[in-house]
Copies of this chain bind each other. A is one copy, B any other.
Amino acid sequence: MAADGNESHIRLAAETWESLFRAQVAVMRRLQAGAAFRKVAINEYDVLFTLSRCPSGWLRLNELNDHVLLSQSSLSRLVERLEKRGLVVRMAAPDDGRGVLLKLTEEGAALQKEIGREHVRDISSLVGPALTAAEQRELQRLTEKLRHSVGARPAK
């Protein structure tokens, strides 16, 4: 195989990522413009959503940080705001004195559901017409595979 066999492989990966990134930007722009995000910012909703999907209801702050594209300090203050608004409650972790557990309040859960419904409608009106069901399933499969390969944990 020629030397540029490797080169073209590198380029393919870069182009694939750029395409994925641009698609994400395009969709995100439309979602942010939607009425669903008047009450809470996108990152705040992301936290509420992640908490709503948590089986036990309680989630550690550092686990939450793996899901969200935010620094640790920014997440700390974001959660502080959510708590002030009465949407989540904090609790010291029972098995680890350093840790903090989070849970949605009833009000927080209600707000998440309300916004979530609207959000899901916006999403399906964007993604639904764009791709066939089979294509959506394939896109889901590929992005899941990519995410799991990359791993949730960054080096630091």
Q: Once bound together, how far apart are the Cα atoms of A150 and B24, in whole Å? A: 10
* Total copies of this chain within the assembly: 2
Q: Once bound together, how far apart are the Cα atoms of A67 and B28, in whole Å? A: 12
Q: Are A147 and B19 touching (Cβ within 8 A)?
A: yes
A40 CB-CB contact with B under 8 Å: no
- Interface set, chain A 122-152, CB cutoff 8 A to B: 123-124, 126-131, 133, 135-140, 142-147, 149-152
A10-B121, A146-B23 as given contacts; A33 in contact with B155, CB under 8 Å:
yes
- Interface set, chain A 28-59, CB cutoff 8 A to B: 28-30, 33
Q: Once bound together, how far apart are the Cα atoms of A16 and B142, in whole Å? A: 10
A84 CB-CB contact with B under 8 Å: no
A13 CB-CB contact with B under 8 Å: yes
A12 CB-CB contact with B under 8 Å: yes
Q: Once bound together, how far apart are the Cα atoms of A136 and B142, in whole Å? A: 8
Partner of A147, one of B26, B142, B144: B26
Task: Output the least CB separation between A101 and chain B (Å).
Answer: 22
A154 CB-CB contact with B under 8 Å: yes
Q: Once bound together, how far apart are the Cα atoms of A48 and B72, in whole Å? A: 28
Q: Are A10 and B147 touching (Cβ within 8 A)?
A: no
Which of A10, A19, A67 has its CB near the most chain B CB atoms (within 10 A)?
Answer: A19
Partner of A20, one of B11, B24, B29, B151: B24
Interface set of A (CB-CB < 8 Å, partner B) = 9-17, 19-30, 33, 67-69, 120-121, 123-124, 126-131, 133, 135-140, 142-147, 149-152, 154-156
